[in-house]
Amino acid sequence: DAGVTQSPTHLIKTRGQQVTLRCSPKSGHDTVSWYQQALGQGPQFIFQYYEEEERQRGNFPDRFSGHQFPNYSSELNVNALLLGDSALYLCASSGGGPQHFGDGTRLSIL
């Protein structure tokens, strides 16, 4: 049984570009949450999707948006990339119990 999978594992972009990160939840999970982890810090909550709707949102600008598909997989989109967006982006899925995390996408902005 595969856990949470994220793609790509690493990505390099330049300022001003746009990026899309992808997440497949653990089997049986219907809720997907996204987190941003800067170097040396704990993960910060971005938003959560359930039934294809954004259910909760953290303190992130509108440049950060997402989507959930009928098969529960999810995408995180970031527009107009800034140097400060360089981070590890983590996806977590849940189905009423604990959230389980993928190993993240390392995004570097040049």
Partner 1 sequence: DAKTTQPTSMDCAEGRAANLPCNHSTISGNEYVYWYRQIHSQGPQYIIHGLKNNETNEMASLIITEDRKSSTLILPHATLRDTAVYYCIVRGRSYNTDKLIFGTGTRLQVFP
Regarding 60 and contact with partner 1 (CB under 8 A), the answer is: no
Judged by CB under 8 A, the number of residues near partner 1 is 23
Regarding 66 and contact with partner 1 (CB under 8 A), the answer is: no
Residue whose structure tokens are 């590890």: 88
Among 92, 93, 107, 109, binds partner 1 (CB under 8 A): 92
Regarding 41 and contact with partner 1 (CB under 8 A), the answer is: yes
CA distances from 20 to 1, 6, 93, 102 (A): 25, 11, 18, 16
Q: How far apart are CA 93 and CA 31, in angstroms?
A: 5
Q: Which residues bind partner 1 (CB under 8 A)?
A: 4, 33, 35, 41-45, 48, 50, 55-56, 58, 90, 92, 94, 98-104
